[in-house]
């Protein structure tokens, strides 16, 4: 399958292509599915880092369509990892629902990166949703003894049963209904911020929410730009 103009752009920016093979799948909740893969040489060629993501290519009514997913439990020696899909209407979710051992899918790696905050903050402040849960879990593993507060946007009852990898002793999980997320963060984040220059805020929600909260964190509470990591994971319809 050709990758269209997006594939050409990624090639210009030195994107590297791989083919992954499905080895199995499991339904985590009614709205969340985990698919297991062999990596097609990805991990040995690229290495792995926290929150690492890849772009998968899907066939959308005959046209190429790409979506980004964070690696879950990458094993460099075995050449395996998993990806988790927050299910909704769309070709990516449809593909994950039907994925069977032996199925293959093309992928491109370009643009992924992560730097451990130095110095580490007293507490990580994390804002996300089901689409960014794999990245949140990976982020918390960077410094497992570091306290963190996680504002997690929910839209369905099943979101409360997702596979959070948190330690109740150190990680405070705040499940916030979608319409209330921005207001909740603005009301409570300043109380947990401490010295803004030493804070670390990580944001990954839909594009509009990510943009609004990033602007707030940078301008209203004056966290330095290099202490904020933000990425819009999807676009709300």
End-to-end CA separation in angstroms for the chain: 27
Q: Give the model's pLDDT for residue 4.
A: 55
Instruction: Output the DSSP codes for 179-199.
Output: GGHHHHHHHHHHHHH-SGGG-
174-201 pLDDT, tens per residue? 999 999 999 999 999 999 998 889 999 9
Alpha carbons 125 and 117: distance in angstroms, whole number: 12
17-64 pLDDT, tens per residue? 999 999 999 999 999 999 999 999 999 999 999 999 999 999 998 999
Q: Give the model's pLDDT for residue 235.
A: 78
Q: What is the pTM of this model?
A: 0.89
Q: Who wins on pLDDT, 144 or 185?
A: 185
User: Does 4-109 carry CATH code 2.40.30.10?
Assistant: yes
State how far Cα 82 lies from the chain centre.
13
The fold of 124-230 is Rossmann fold (3.40.50)
- Percent of the chain surpassing pLDDT 90: 83
Domain boundaries, the chain: 4-109, 124-230
Alpha carbons 121 and 210: distance in angstroms, whole number: 21
């Amino acid at each position: 399958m050709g990758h269209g103009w997006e594939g050409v752009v990624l090639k210009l920016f030195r994107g590297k292509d791989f083919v992954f093979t499905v080895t199995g799948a499991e339904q985590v909740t009614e709205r969340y599915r985990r698919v297991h893969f062999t990596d097609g040489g990805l991990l040995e060629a690229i290495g792995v880092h926290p929150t690492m993501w890849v772009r998968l290519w899907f066939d959308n009514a005959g046209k190429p369509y790409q979506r980004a997913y964070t690696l879950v439990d990458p094993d460099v020696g075995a050449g395996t990892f998993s990806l988790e899909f927050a299910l909704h209407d769309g070709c990516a979710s449809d593909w994950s629902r039907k994925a069977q051992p032996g199925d293959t899918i093309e992928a491109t790696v370009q643009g992924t990166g992560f730097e451990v905050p130095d110095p580490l903050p007293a507490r990580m402040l994390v804002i996300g949703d089901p689409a960014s849960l794999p990245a949140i879990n990976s982020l918390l593993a960077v410094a497992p003894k570091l306290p963190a507060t996680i504002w997690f946007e929910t839209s369905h009852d099943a979101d409360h049963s997702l596979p959070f990898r948190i330690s109740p002793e150190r990680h405070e999980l705040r499940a916030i209904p979608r319409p209330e997320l921005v207001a909740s963060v603005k009301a409570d984040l300043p109380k947990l911020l401490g010295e803004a220059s030493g804070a670390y805020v990580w944001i990954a929600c839909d594009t509009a929410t990510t943009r609004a909260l990033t602007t707030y964190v940078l301008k209203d509470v004056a966290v330095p730009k290099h202490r904020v990591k933000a990425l819009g994971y999807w676009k709300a319809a």
